[in-house]
Structure 1
Amino acid sequence: MAATPPVCDFGWKAVDFTLPATDGRRLSLAEVAGPRGTLIMFICNHCPYVIAVRDRILRDARELMAMGVGVAAISANDAAAYPADSFDNMRKLAEEQAFPFPYLHDADQSVARAYDAACTPDFFGFNSDLELQYRGRLDASRREAGPPDLRRDLFEAMKQIAETGQGPRDQIPSMGCSIKWKGAA
């Protein structure tokens, strides 16, 4: 089922976490944060919205990381109900796709709940003080990738945050599959 997150709550402070990563480490928010901003993405393996733009997510993450923005992805879906989103499958996907950022597993869904994550993908862009400045879409793609020349909403917003500490005031929410909460089926 498609879901849309709420608009950006400017200044909301990022909630700390420590989660297992697909590379065998356990990482905290401080360890993934960048000196010029931090992007936390809630994604998963099976969502058609994520699959449609995964190459763009990877492209934007690489470019943002080169600018000093820390990037991490979190999967919080109920892996018992959605086996494609299991930790083993997360590990395989991260290796196959050469994720340049940590892919973290929120097995108890506490981090997704603390962030009020609504869908996959759901993007949270923070400034260097870990204050929320962007909660919008990657671009105008939906279940299928849009044309390659689409405005890069997420990239442009995070670039602005890295340069000024402030996100754009006009933001269009992301849209994707709802988070698969445990016990919701």
Structure 2
Amino acid sequence: MAALQPPVCDFGWQAPHFTLPATDGSTYKLADVAGEQSTLVMFICNHCPFVLAIMDKIIRDAHDMKEHGIGVVAICSNDPVSYPADSFENMQLMAEKHAFPFPYLHDADQSVAKDYDAVCTPDFFGFNKDMQLQYRGRLDATRMGSSPSDLRRDLFEAMKQIAETGKGPEDQIPSIGCSIKWK
């Protein structure tokens, strides 16, 4: 498995709109998940070991972000035919098992991943309240098999800064993960 890294943040890039079904039975638009101060759109999946290694931290940070007016949403765009673990039914089981504090959306035709130019799972997109990209970096310095609890919370701190100032940090370290599984 070769790990991929997304490109650096393209500051000011406008968030593409979407309408996608969620594991909770609802359908969400970007406007439905937008936070009052900023919005995190993340591409994750069920089977990626990089995502699984940080799942508890994603959930912790999503809870903490809500207190700062930050909306959070997760999208799975992987091909469920080649990767059955990422099927909509398994997405529902994952969301329920982990009690996701955010909508988990299914991008069946992969158009949203293409619109966002998502590269890997996880791939984090942090937008200000005007839906301009301000962060495209990692959650923290966690690596496979190593997850100290005292790591700097890069994603959380960046999203908090965006919520407070409308601007993301100048220096960002890219996320790392498995490639989006294209059809």
Shorter-chain TM-score above 0.5 = yes
Percent identity among equivalent residues? 70
Match for residue 144 of structure 2? 143
Partner Cα distance (2:145, 2:170) in 1:
27
Instruction: Describe the superposition over 1:159-185 as per-residue Cα deviations: whole angstroms up to 9, x where unpaired.
Output: 000000000000000000000000xxx
Query: Aligned AA for 1:154?
Result: L
Match for residue 171 of structure 2? 170
Partner Cα distance (2:72, 2:124) in 1:
10
Unaligned runs of 5+ residues in structure 1 are: none
Query: Aligned AA for 2:126?
Result: G
Taking structure 2 as the reference length, the TM-score comes to 0.98
Contact 1:53 1:145 in 2 (8 A): no
Contact 1:64 1:155 in 2 (8 A): yes
Match for residue 125 of structure 2? 124
Match for residue 98 of structure 2? 97
Partner Cα distance (2:73, 2:145) in 1:
23
* Mapped pair 1:46 → 2:43: no
* SS in structure 2 at match of 1:10: coil
Partner Cα distance (2:106, 2:80) in 1:
10
Partner Cα distance (2:41, 2:145) in 1:
22
* Mapped pair 1:59 → 2:60: yes
* SS in structure 1 at match of 2:45: coil
Match for residue 15 of structure 1? 16
Q: CA deviation at 1:143?
A: 2.2
* SS in structure 2 at match of 1:2: coil
Instruction: Describe the superposition over 1:16-57 as per-residue Cα deviations: whole angstroms up to 9, x where unpaired.
Output: 000000000010000000110000000000000000000000
Match for residue 32 of structure 2? 31
Partner Cα distance (2:58, 2:154) in 1:
12
Cα gap change, 1:80/1:41 in structure 2, threshold over 3 Å: closer, same or farther? same
Query: Aligned AA for 2:41?
Result: I
Contact 1:49 1:144 in 2 (8 A): no
Query: Alpha carbon RMSD of aligned pairs, Å?
Result: 0.6
Partner Cα distance (2:148, 2:91) in 1:
27
Unaligned runs of 5+ residues in structure 2 are: none
Q: CA deviation at 1:145?
A: 4.2
Query: Aligned AA for 1:68?
Result: G
